[in-house]
Chains A and B, each alone.
Chain A
Amino acid sequence: MGEIIRAENLTKVYSGKFKAVDGISVSVNEGEIFGFLGPNGSGKTTTFRMLTTLSKPTSGSAIIAGYDINKDARKIKQIIGYSCQQVGLDLKSTGRYNLQLFGRYYHVAGKELKKRVDELIELFELESHADRLVGTYSGGIRKKLEIATSLINRPRILFLDEPTLGLDIKVRVNLWDYTQELNKKDGVTIFLTTHYLEEAEKLCNNLAIIESGRIVKTGNVEELKNEIHGDVVSLTFFKNEKFAECIEHSRQILSGESFLMDIKATEKGLNLYVKEGASTLPKILKILDGCGITIETISLAKASLDDVFLKHTGNRISV
């Protein structure tokens, strides 16, 4: 399947100086789930607002299903759905009314509108909620309804901005299922933003890691993880006057070791990227002990997207 979104050097400058989005280029293939992974304030929403024609880029361009965001906004609106980061619903009306409201804005009316609304209520299992006021819904139900409203025009591309922000894990898993089903069954291309690693890992085929308005790395999720190779050994040191010295010293003596693939400083100590953690752990302990370096904790984990993030940005995304 071909490319359905192509952004070139998208840039958004606020107040004449602040670059919220700083030259983002990205390519999304039809039928895939593509993710923007980045911390709060990294420019995800701003990029989405440009791609969905809500905001004009300061410079740069993007082609969506063959249409230029700078020229063919109306065409693009017809074929995309947008689920925003906030509530995006009329809380003082019922769920059904909200669906009808947006349906009418897409100029769907009469029997066809009724049919589509019923379909979406069924698809998202909202039957028992549809006729209650949205203000009384739980966060998870609201989000389901909100995503449903963004599907009213049967979009080819669905933009999901932080779809599970602030929801508890059960609801998130449930929403992930819907997202995957939409993608698999109806072939909807999905572009999502998240700062949840599990979400990116679970849903996305391809991923762009974004920080301070720039993409620092793009790639297939599995490949990105493989790039980190094997396991991560995390060392932490006591926060005393010797803290910095310990880190520097450990880094020096470990750098020469053949088992070490990469090494990164973290807030509390060091992350060592190694091929095979279980057998390396004792070696590391022995070396450090031999040099008289005291560590606070040592732990072993499989490399995750968090480590990919750390490697490319120098920061951790999870707190």
Chain B
Amino acid sequence: MTFLSDISNTFGRFLRSEIRTPQIVIFSLAQPLFWLLLFGQLFEKMVNVPGISTSNYISFLAPGVMVMIVLYSSTYGGMSIVDDISSGLLDKFLVTPANRTAFVIGSLLASLVSLSAQILVVFGAASLMGLEMETGIAGVFLTMFFVGLLSFGIAGLSKALALATKNAQPVVIIGSFVTMPLIFLSGALMPLETAPDWIQTAAKFNPIEYTVKAVRYLVIGNGSLNDFIPSILVLTAFAVFGVAIATLAFRKATN
């Protein structure tokens, strides 16, 4: 009971601080729209490229934009904890009888809220641009679930890094260093079928690719159930890993 209340207390605090800055809310909702439009225009003619089994590039692109959103919003998820360490707030929290893990989980859950809003914006806008959701509303929820798993994994790693270094800078540097390669070593924006072998191999180790595959399966029925199952396993493992490593780093940093 107290564990849940500790989570909800932390969740509440992080959520408040996210929605307290309307500029950030507006910007974070505008960003997916911008990407959809930009990439949509850029790659419009790609429907004839092998590997896109849809007549509508938007349906192909929307899942890619979703994972990009996760990457961009979760990579810097560790930074708030650095602020809390240097402001002494974390110490004040740790001196209470509240559960430590609740702090990590609560803050991760709070970031899911804005993430979900962003994903819904993509769904909404992409529908207007011609996306047809093969799996309907259930698919939307499942998409949220996969995207959430990816976000837990990435934000967990980001938090672990921030906690290990107690510094926001490595998070920014490493975050911006890996974001682009992770996107291009996956089929987020372009189908991997035409990519060089080494990229296809690299993609097998990329959680982004697994998310894209799963979401694309839900949106356009692309691929097969045999692709879907590994995605579930890999992403669940990745999320558990992210939470575990963040919790571990949290415990270590607070000793």
Among A82, A87, A90, residue most surrounded by chain B Cβ atoms (within 10 Å): A90
A105-B6 contact in complex given A77-B97, A86-B86, A93-B17, C-beta closer than 8 Å: yes
Q: Whole-angstrom distance between the alpha carbons of A227 and B91 in the complex?
A: 38
Cβ of B5 under 8 Å from chain A: yes
A101-B91 contact in complex given A55-B255, A106-B97, C-beta closer than 8 Å: no
Residues of B within 8 A of A93 (CB): 13, 16-17, 20
Chain B binding surface SS class: helix
Cβ of B94 under 8 Å from chain A: yes
A88-B89 in contact (CB<8A) = yes
A54-B254 in contact (CB<8A) = yes
Q: Whole-angstrom distance between the alpha carbons of A55 and B94 in the complex?
A: 10
A82-B97 contact in complex given A90-B13, A92-B17, A101-B9, C-beta closer than 8 Å: no
Q: Which of B9, B92, B97, B98 contacts A84 (CB 8 A)?
A: B92
Q: Which of B2, B16, B96 contacts A102 (CB 8 A)?
A: B96
Residues of B within 8 A of A153 (CB): 96
A77-B96 contact in complex given A87-B88, A88-B91, C-beta closer than 8 Å: yes
Cβ of A221 under 8 Å from chain B: no
Q: Whole-angstrom distance between the alpha carbons of A196 and B9 in the complex?
A: 37
A90-B95 contact in complex given A56-B255, A104-B5, C-beta closer than 8 Å: no
A105-B255 in contact (CB<8A) = no
Cβ of A85 under 8 Å from chain B: yes
B180 → chain A, closest Cβ, in Å? 31
Q: Contact string, A86-104, partner B, CB cutoff 8 A, digits 1/0?
A: 1111111100010001101
Cβ of B87 under 8 Å from chain A: yes
Residues of A within 8 A of B87 (CB): 86-89, 91
Residues of B within 8 A of A85 (CB): 88
Cβ of A149 under 8 Å from chain B: yes
Size bin of chain A's contact surface: 20 to 34
B40 → chain A, closest Cβ, in Å? 36
Cβ of A53 under 8 Å from chain B: yes
B255-A106 in contact (CB<8A) = no
Cβ of B34 under 8 Å from chain A: no
Q: Which of B5, B17, B92 contacts A150 (CB 8 A)?
A: B92
Interface size for B (C-beta < 8 A) is: 22
A82-B92 in contact (CB<8A) = yes
A90-B17 in contact (CB<8A) = yes
B91 → chain A, closest Cβ, in Å? 5
Residues of B within 8 A of A88 (CB): 87-89, 91-92
Residues of A within 8 A of B94 (CB): 54
Cβ of A78 under 8 Å from chain B: yes
B20-A82 in contact (CB<8A) = no
Among B2, B88, B93, residue most surrounded by chain A Cβ atoms (within 10 Å): B88
Residues of A within 8 A of B91 (CB): 49, 54, 82, 84, 86, 88
Residues of A within 8 A of B96 (CB): 77, 102, 105-106, 153
Cβ of A107 under 8 Å from chain B: yes
Q: Whole-angstrom distance between the alpha carbons of A105 and B20 in the complex?
A: 22
B9-A105 in contact (CB<8A) = yes
B228 → chain A, closest Cβ, in Å? 41
A242 → chain B, closest Cβ, in Å? 49
B21 → chain A, closest Cβ, in Å? 8
The residue of chain B having its C-beta at the shortest distance from the C-beta of A109 within the complex is B5
Q: Whole-angstrom distance between the alpha carbons of A78 and B86 in the complex?
A: 24
B251 → chain A, closest Cβ, in Å? 11
Residues of A within 8 A of B95 (CB): 52-54, 77, 80, 82
Given A54-B94, A89-B89, 6 other A-B residues pairs in contact with their CB atoms under 8 A: A84-B91, A88-B89, A90-B17, A104-B9, A105-B98, A150-B92
Chain A to chain B contacts (Cβ below 8 Å), 28 pairs: A54-B91, A54-B94, A77-B95, A77-B96, A82-B91, A84-B92, A85-B88, A86-B86, A86-B91, A87-B88, A88-B92, A89-B89, A90-B17, A92-B16, A92-B17, A93-B16, A102-B96, A104-B5, A105-B9, A105-B93, A105-B97, A106-B97, A106-B98, A107-B2, A107-B5, A107-B97, A149-B92, A153-B96
Q: Which 3 A-B pairs have the closest CB atoms?
A: A86-B88, A88-B88, A105-B96
Which residues of A approach B to under 8 Å, CB–CB? 49, 52-56, 74, 77-78, 80, 82, 84-93, 97, 101-102, 104-107, 109, 146, 149-150, 153
